[in-house]
Amino acid sequence: MKLYDCQIAPNPRRVRIFLAEKGVEIERVELNIAEGDNLKPDFLAINPRGLLPTLVLDDGTVLDECVAISRWVEETWPNPPLMGTNARDKAFIESRNRHMEIDGFMSVAEIFRNSHPSFRDRGLPGLSAVPAIPQLVDRGRAGIARFFERLNSDLGQHPFVAGDQFSIADITALSVVDFAGWVKEKVPQHHVNTHRWYEAVSKRPSAAA
Amino acid sequence: MKLYDCQIAPNPRRVRIFLAEKGVEIERVELNIAEGDNLKPDFLAINPRGLLPTLVLDDGTVLDECVAISRWVEETWPNPPLMGTNARDKAFIESRNRHMEIDGFMSVAEIFRNSHPSFRDRGLPGLSAVPAIPQLVDRGRAGIARFFERLNSDLGQHPFVAGDQFSIADITALSVVDFAGWVKEKVPQHHVNTHRWYEAVSKRPSAAA
């Protein structure tokens, strides 16, 4: 089993935090996305989408997408549970995690990929020849502002993103907040609920993974 | 329990097909998205993201996002399984389903939302005041062409999108192909694997849901 990883990138970090919360170690292969290792023939032969992280299981199954990789980890090492243990919690955590991805992560990725000079022909992950679209930077900045408002409001009702327990939705949200810092988008100072939550989840040992 | 639904929209159809495959009926409330019912205060009080489908459980839990709703259904009525029954299959189906969503559905949505006159200030789902960005139409058309190539290639190796069994990934892929027809993007004639698969899944009674 091998986890194709990239130390500096936000998505691989989500899986590293997930593994750290489980106390599980998997052999890692570090790729350098700044040098385009993930778009070179050797890696495309493993994952034609060219995305990190990618987990190759012992039976040869290739898994990409953070949540699919996390699902395999959760099913293989159920404790501590990070994706719920009954129908309601599994579904609610999945719903909340998708809010973090779609409303949060994608907004930041829109800003980053469409403004950073190195990505001017890589407007979508895992592909070259997709031109950056400058208007997406504005759309992403408006999106992350809306996301931060809603996150602070939700965290006023529960200690964690999907309720009373730490879950994969907190891992995604943490990665959104830290990734947002790359494009100079910060949680507004008066969002006290988010600051309280951020301090707590950042202090967990897994956050350093 | 209530499922907020919209007969004409592609995402609600995904959940209706999922329920039909399970043989499960849930009370439905039809909203008219063409008249913006999903963005009116009554519905925003239920789901502030303004998205359909939305499922409200008997305990008051609000679930949106097709896959989260499908997860609840799968966990509540496990047969026939549509999301896998062991760690490897659950994760692989989730990975393949996300490919259908990210590479397929999102490409079509980019074309549709950024070209249809009724959506000129609704470039993202569930929100007003997000201006359409015409360059996304070209990006979406390039994306769906790449998606179709890869889908045909994958379906040359397996009868269904995630292997030997019909799964949620086939439901998502079917919805992508039919949604693509709205923006005049058709599976190329020489993609014989996709045509064989499309004919088979379209003939299932659930496809009419």
| B92·A142 Cβ contact <8 A | no
Do A122 and A184 share a structural domain? yes
Task: Give me the pLDDT at residue A129, please.
Answer: 84
Instruction: Choose the final residue of a domain: B76, B109, B129.
Output: B76
What whole-number distance in Å separates Cα of residue B191 and Cα of residue B49? 37
Residue A33 falls within a domain, yes or no? yes
What are the residue ranges in chain A where pLDDT is below 70? none
DSSP code, position B2: E
CATH number at residue B195: 1.20.1050.10
Please give the ipTM for the structure prediction: 0.97
Do B94 and B71 share a structural domain? no
CA A182 to chain centre: 14
Task: Give me the pLDDT at residue A43, please.
Answer: 97
Do A189 and A95 share a structural domain? yes
Domain boundaries, position A169 = 87-208
Query: Over the Cα atoms of chain B, what is R_g?
Result: 17
CATH number at residue B66: 3.40.30.10
Between the alpha carbon of residue A84 and those of residues A30, A87, A134, B71, B105, the distances in Å are: 30, 8, 39, 11, 27
Between the alpha carbon of residue B82 and those of residues A117, A126, B66, B88, B104, the distances in Å are: 43, 28, 13, 14, 20
Q: Which two tokens stand for residue A198?
A: 């951020």
| B133·A130 Cβ contact <8 A | no
Do A10 and A48 share a structural domain? yes
| A99·B49 Cβ contact <8 A | yes
- Per DSSP bridges, beta strands B28-30 and B2-5 are parallel
In degrees and rounded to multiples of 5, residue B163 shows phi and psi of 125, -140
Tell me, yes or no, if B141 comes closer than 8 A to chain A by beta carbon: no
Tell me, yes or no, if B142 comes closer than 8 A to chain A by beta carbon: yes
Confidence bin at B83 (pLDDT 50/70/90): very high
Q: From the list B48, B86, B94, which residue is nearest A68 (CB)?
A: B94
Do B53 and B31 share a structural domain? yes
| Residues A128, A134, A139, A145, CA torsion sign | positive
Residue A121 falls within a domain, yes or no? yes
Q: Are A4 and A47 in contact (CB under 8 A)?
A: yes
Q: Are B169 and B96 in contact (CB under 8 A)?
A: yes
Chain B contact probe: residue of A72, A85, A93, A121 with most B CBs at under 10 A: A72
Residue B82 falls within a domain, yes or no? no
- Per DSSP bridges, beta strands A28-30 and A2-5 are parallel
Task: Give me the pLDDT at residue A137, please.
Answer: 97
Contacts of B76 in chain A (CB under 8 A): 87
Contacts of B86 in chain A (CB under 8 A): 75
Residue B183 falls within a domain, yes or no? yes
Q: Which two tokens stand for residue A156?
A: 């006023």
Instruction: Choose the final residue of a domain: B41, B76, B111.
Output: B76
What whole-number distance in Å separates Cα of residue A32 and Cα of residue A52? 10
Residue A81 falls within a domain, yes or no? no
Residue B153 falls within a domain, yes or no? yes
Task: Give me the pLDDT at residue A126, please.
Answer: 84
Counted across chains A and B, CB pairs separated by less than 8 A come out at: 103
Higher pLDDT, B35 or B108: B108
In terms of Cβ atoms closer than 10 Å to its own Cβ (0-12, 13-18, 19+), residue B170 is: buried
Q: Is the pLDDT of residue B128 over 80?
A: no
Confidence bin at B129 (pLDDT 50/70/90): confident
Q: Is the pLDDT of residue B54 over 80?
A: yes
DSSP code, position A134: T
Between the alpha carbon of residue A141 and those of residues A107, A176, A186, B131, B136, the distances in Å are: 7, 13, 11, 13, 17
| A76·B87 Cβ contact <8 A | yes
Do B40 and B127 share a structural domain? no
Contacting A residues, span 7-66, partner chain B, CB-CB under 8 Å: 48-49, 57, 59, 61, 63-65
Contacts of A136 in chain B (CB under 8 A): 133, 136
Do A191 and A138 share a structural domain? yes
Do B166 and B131 share a structural domain? yes
CA A68 to chain centre: 12
Do B49 and B130 share a structural domain? no
Task: Give me the pLDDT at residue A108, please.
Answer: 98
Q: From the list A71, A86, A133, which residue is nearest B91 (CB)?
A: A71
DSSP code, position A184: T
CA angle centred on A90, ends A88 and A95, rounded to 5°: 90
Strand partners, B30: B5
HSE-CB for B138 with a 13 A CA cutoff:
9
Do A130 and A69 share a structural domain? no
Do A28 and A118 share a structural domain? no
Do A181 and A131 share a structural domain? yes
Q: From the list A94, A136, A142, which residue is nearest B133 (CB)?
A: A136
Residue B81 falls within a domain, yes or no? no
Q: Number of folded domains in chain B?
A: 2
CA angle centred on A194, ends A158 and A107, rounded to 5°: 110
pTM summary value: 0.97
Instruction: Choose the final residue of a domain: B76, B99, B126.
Output: B76
Residue A72 falls within a domain, yes or no? yes
| B133·A143 Cβ contact <8 A | no
